[in-house]
């Protein structure tokens, strides 16, 4: 098994209210991706493969990193549809979509729990399907030669980490809320199992002039 470094995309359109409008990088998101690429080159971090989801924000982030690696795009690396699930929670269970960060921190775990309990009618995909596609694609990537970069989204990263650590939904939701844009998260194979050896690392943003660029949304 090869180790995998998961990367959350750069800041997207944080003012969006649906999936399509959210799916593009902000000017800061493009800059975050460029800074991350500079860091990887200057630190001579060794990766031989690059994978992304098929969402626009994934592709733009990978392009901005300028790794010189040919990306493999795989829809199994796409994010869960939070806006769609949030709308279903409001329509089917009467829970309004939050309007601030505090409300979102309460809302996300509730979305995850409702989804996992199969309490949504006609969701875009089941929670079990989301779990399974993440596990399958990461296992396939790990079977390849050499360490891999994987540009994806925060919900997928939190699920991958939760699977590796045997965590439940509340801990997974807290993890998802913490994940910063263009942060790095590394899974390393130890004893035939994934072990997280890096979480939420943003060395490319950890300077006084860039700390305001450490964004979550």
> How far is it, in rounded angstroms, from Cα 156 to Cα 130?
8
| CB-neighbour burial class of residue 84 (10 A; exposed 0-12, middle 13-18, buried 19+) | middle
Mean pLDDT of 99-104: 82
Tally the residues of the chain.
217
- Encode pLDDT of 38-67 as tens digits: 999 999 888 999 999 999 999 999 999 999
Amino acid 16: pLDDT: 72
pTM comes to 0.94
Q: Which domains does the chain have, with CATH numbers?
A: 4-80+125-164+171-213 (3.40.50.1240)
CA nearest to 162, candidates 121, 115, 129, 199: 199
């Amino acid at each position: 098994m090869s180790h995998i470094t998961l990367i959350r995309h750069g800041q997207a359109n944080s003012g969006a209210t649906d999936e399509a409008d959210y799916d593009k990088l902000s000017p800061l998101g493009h800059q975050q991706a460029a800074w991350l690429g500079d860091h990887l080159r200057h630190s001579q971090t060794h990766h031989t493969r690059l994978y992304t989801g098929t969402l626009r924000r994934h592709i733009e982030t990978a392009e901005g990193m300028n790794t010189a690696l040919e990306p493999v795009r795989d829809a199994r690396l796409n994010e869960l549809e939070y806006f769609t699930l949030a709308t279903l929670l409001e329509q089917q269970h009467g829970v309004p979509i939050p309007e601030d960060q505090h409300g979102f921190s309460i809302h996300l775990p509730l979305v995850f729990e409702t989804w996992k309990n199969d309490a949504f009618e006609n969701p875009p995909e089941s929670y079990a399907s989301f779990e399974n596609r993440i596990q399958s694609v990461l296992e396939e990537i790990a079977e390849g030669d050499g360490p891999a970069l994987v540009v994806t989204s925060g919900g997928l990263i939190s699920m991958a980490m939760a699977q590796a650590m045997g965590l439940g939904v509340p801990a997974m939701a807290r993890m998802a809320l913490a994940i910063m844009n263009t942060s790095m998260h590394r899974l390393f194979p130890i004893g035939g199992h994934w072990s997280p050896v890096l979480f939420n690392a943003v060395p490319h943003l950890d300077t006084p002039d860039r700390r305001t660029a450490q964004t979550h949304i």
